[in-house]
Structure 1
Amino acid sequence: MTEIINNSTLGIVDNDPLVASAIQSLLVETCVPIQILWTATSAEQALDTMKTPSQRPQAVLTDIAMPGMNGAELAHHIKKQYTDIAVIGISAFLDSENEKRYGTQWSDAFYAIIPKEIPTIQLVRTIGKAIGNGEVASWTGKSINSMRLSGKELQIIANYARGFATSTIARQLKISEASVKTYARRAFEKLHVHSRAEAVAVCVRNGWI
């Protein structure tokens, strides 16, 4: 088990538990210098969790578009109750569309608002800047580099991302289908994933494909 030597802490909020879990897994598996204290599937659950002092992270990463209390409202609540917690919003929408949904003051309580598909290094550095931790803000992603795929492995994952079947990839690369599967399996092991979809997601998230 990797020992966490950095005391930077984070809470993750997304109404889709799969998304929250995926973000947590990505950060853990790439050994970023941040401890994930908890994930929550609603703003209300996050606020309830933070009533316990030991569960108050230095930063909260929250989806903006959530049913019930949305991310902007959560950010305002946190800013009012816990002035030392930085809130970072994640959104799939353009700023203008968010303004239409939440008003022109929607972004006031956020330290930053970032796209959901932001590369991991940029995400980590944004968190580091938000909490004033220079080590995290300048993280180089060395652990990600250690997982870097070979050219052939990356090429095969990229082709899976395009929707190509194993047989098609084998013909294009002029190798056997068994070889394609072997390269894919090696990629899965390096990325600590169990499926093509997960491998594609990690590679896209890190800006490799």
Structure 2
Amino acid sequence: MHTLANDPTLGIVDNDPLVANAIRSLLVETCAPIQILWTVTSAEQALDAMRDSSQRPQAILTDIAMPGMDGVELARHVKEQYPDIIVIGISAFLDSENEKTHGAQWTEAFYAILPKEIPTIQLVRIIGKAIGNGEVASWTGKSMESMRLSGKELQIIASYANGFTTSAIARQLNVSEASVKTYARRAFEKLHAHSRAEAVATCARNGWI
């Protein structure tokens, strides 16, 4: 399993919350070695988030065409204020006409321009390459299946995170305490966690709970 503390950090910006959440979900569900700091729906929200130094990601994935401040303007602000942060643009309209019209300013503003439907493995590798992380740049996605928790396993870890005891979770799910412990043990094995706290931390860092 990759070391979460060393995972590259990412911020996602898209004015369509469904798209923003879909990108986040794909990265989470495939166990991508990326820690998502925030998902926002406007450039202004992204800049607000980054006022807190702990919320400044190594890379930002932003929609290019957004109402108000668009992705190009956001990229310029980031370059001026936080020159170490890499900005990658995404667009649903990557065609030759757009490239002719916006090519120069896009090249200047972004590390790369990607189609929104790009496969997750390619997206992760490009982010890794952009920030100079060789391990992430060569990610194969092999950890995906081994770490995927079932709905019940995730529910139990989330309940532990909320302070519920094993007996309380058993009553809540209408199962025996032994069943809860079995689900929890399976989750620990998949997460390579040695304790309840470690399992909760892993799920929280990946945005699963």
TM-score above 0.5 = yes
Question: What CA deviation, in whole Å up to 9, does each residue of 1:35-74 have, x standing for no partner?
Answer: 0000110001101110110000000000111111111111
Aligned counterparts, 1:13-162, within 5 A = 13-94=13-94, 96-99=96-99, 102=102, 104-144=104-144
- Aligned-partner residue type, residue 41 of structure 1: T
Corresponding letter in the other structure for 1:63 = D
How many Å separate the matches in 1 of 2:74 and 2:98? 15
Amino acid at match of 1:29: E
User: In the aligned structure 2, how far is the partner of 1:80 from the partner of 1:145?
Assistant: 40
Question: Could you list the runs of 5+ residues in structure 1 that have no partner in the other structure?
Answer: 148-209
Superposed CA deviations along residues 178-199 of structure 1, whole A, max 9, x for unmatched, are xxxxxxxxxxxxxxxxxxxxxx
Q: Distance in 2 between matches of 1:70 and 1:87?
A: 13
Which residue of structure 2 aligns with residue 196 of structure 1?
Answer: none
Structure 2 stretches lacking a partner, 5+ long? 148-209
TM-score, normalised to structure 1's length? 0.65
Q: CA deviation at 1:107?
A: 2.7
Mapped to 2, the partners of 1:141 and 1:101 lie a distance apart of 36
CA distance in 2, matches of 1:116, 1:7: 22
Higher relative contact order (CA 8 A, sep 6+): 2
2:106 and 2:113 in contact (8 A); partners too: no
Alignment match, 1:12: 12
> Taking structure 2 as the reference length, what is the TM-score of the superposition?
0.65
Q: Distance in 1 between matches of 2:84 and 2:24?
A: 22
Quick one: structure 1 residues 142 and 18, their matched pair in 2 at CA, closer, same or farther if it must change by over 3 Å? same
- Cα separation, partners in 2 of 1:68 and 1:103, compared to 1, 3 Å: farther
> What is the SS of the residue equivalent to 2:10?
strand
Displacement of 1:109: 1.6
Aligned CA-pair RMSD: 2.2
Shift of 1:143: 2.6
Q: Which has the higher helix share?
A: 2
Question: What is the identity percentage for the equivalent residue pairs of Structure 1 and Structure 2?
Answer: 79
| Amino acid in structure 1 at the alignment position of 2:50 | M
Task: Tell me, in whole angstroms, the C-alpha distance in 2 between the residues paired with 1:41 and 1:125.
Answer: 24
Superposed displacement of residue 7, structure 1 = 3.0
Aligned length: 147
Q: Which AA in structure 1 matches 2:86?
A: A
Whole-angstrom distance in 2 between the partners of 1:28 and 1:15:
20
Per-residue deviation, residues 148-187 of structure 1 (Å, max 9, x unmatched): xxxxxxxxxxxxxxxxxxxxxxxxxxxxxxxxxxxxxxxx
Kept after mapping to 2: 8 A contact 1:72/1:107:
no
| CA distance in 1: counterparts of 2:109 and 2:102, whole angstroms | 12
> Counterparts of 1:3 and 1:129 in 2: how far apart (Å)?
18
